[in-house]
């Protein structure tokens, strides 16, 4: 017996849940869990169905095609771990948290490799027997540096790239190589305080909460579809340095939770929004 996920996105129509589940029944598959959502603003239907049984993938998908509306997307996903390459600069807290959580099994992903534009985090990475590659950006154009990163990442054929405090702006050409498959942790509660030095911006505005945002990367800086956000309270006693220190704890928590959602195939991208089931 296997377990697989059926992910369905299509124009909304009457009776979709019954039609999809009836196809699964006819394939003698047991439904372990099922969640669905209709986005009335776009008229799109989303459904995540966990199935158990003996699968004939081609037969199941062909049967679904006979009952789903035109312009439908359906995917059958196996239980294989998502493979990720993590990009870093010098800050260790997010990378360290991901390495520890994958080591103890609380985050079910595979960190295939870490690529850094500085060598600082190599010793940390190597403690967990994960390959580290130093790809320096010094003395070369952004495009040339990105080409080297992409070539190194391609060796591992990752499902996703993770920017764990990788403090460089990516070009549109780089982003298009992994559409909706690059995940960034931003040290702010977006859309407030985009760009650099958000804790200094927050301090100067006298904010009462600070937070972090994990999102997919698009061509628009820090404006991609949001996966996960969280905030913590602060007050006038906090300096900008205090806010940054507290924010690091939020950043690593938000990033690991976002990757957990990705690992479980719970995220549908709808325009510049996400639907999480």
pLDDT digits (tens, 9 = 90+) for 68-107: 999 899 999 998 899 999 999 999 999 999 999 999 999 9
Each residue's pLDDT tens digit, 42-55: 999 999 999 999 99
Q: What is the mean pLDDT of residues 173-183?
A: 97
Query: 194 falls in which pLDDT band (50, 70, 90)?
Result: low
The Cα 255–Cα 214 span in angstroms is 6
> pTM to 2 decimals?
0.90
pLDDT, residue 199, reads 63
The Cα 218–Cα 170 span in angstroms is 9
Domain(s) labelled CATH 3.30.70.260 in the chain stretch across 2-77
| CA end-to-end span of the chain | 24
pLDDT, residue 187, reads 78
Domain(s) labelled CATH 3.40.50.170 in the chain stretch across 82-276
Indicate the class that CATH gives domain 2-77.
alpha beta
pLDDT at 207 over 80: no
Asked if 222 is an active-site residue, the reply is: yes
Indicate the class that CATH gives domain 82-276.
alpha beta
The Cα 33–Cα 56 span in angstroms is 20
The Cα 30–Cα 42 span in angstroms is 31
pLDDT at 248 over 70: yes
Catalytic residue among 222, 235, 242, 265: 222
């Amino acid at each position: 017996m296997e377990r697989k996920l059926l992910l369905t996105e299509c124009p909304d129509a009457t009776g979709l849940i019954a039609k999809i589940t009836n196809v699964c029944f006819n394939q003698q598959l047991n439904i372990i869990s099922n969640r669905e959502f209709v986005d009335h603003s776009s008229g799109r239907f989303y459904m995540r169905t966990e199935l158990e049984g003996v699968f004939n993938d081609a037969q199941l998908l062909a049967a679904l095609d006979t009952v789903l509306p035109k312009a439908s997307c359906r995917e059958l996903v196996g239980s294989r771990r998502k493979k990720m390459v993590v990009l870093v600069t010098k800050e260790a807290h997010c990378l360290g948290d991901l390495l520890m959580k994958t080591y103890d099994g609380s985050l079910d992903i595979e960190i295939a490799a870490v690529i850094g534009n500085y060598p600082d985090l190599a010793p940390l990475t190597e403690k967990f027997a994960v390959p580290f590659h130093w790809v320096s950006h010094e003395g070369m154009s952004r495009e040339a540096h990105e080409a080297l990163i992409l070539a190194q990442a391609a060796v591992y054929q990752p499902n996703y790239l993770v920017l764990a405090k990788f403090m460089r702006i990516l070009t549109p050409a780089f982003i298009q190589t992994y559409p909706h498959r690059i995940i960034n942790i931003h040290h702010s509660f977006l859309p407030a305080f985009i760009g650099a030095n958000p804790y200094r911006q927050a301090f100067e505005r006298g904010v009462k909460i600070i937070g972090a945002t994990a999102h997919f990367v698009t061509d628009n800086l820090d404006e991609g579809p949001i996966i996960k956000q969280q905030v913590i309270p602060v007050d006038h006693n906090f300096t900008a340095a205090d806010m940054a220190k507290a924010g690091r704890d939020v950043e690593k928590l938000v990033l690991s939770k976002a990757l957990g959602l990705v690992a479980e195939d719970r995220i549908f991208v709808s325009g510049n929004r996400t639907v999480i089931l």
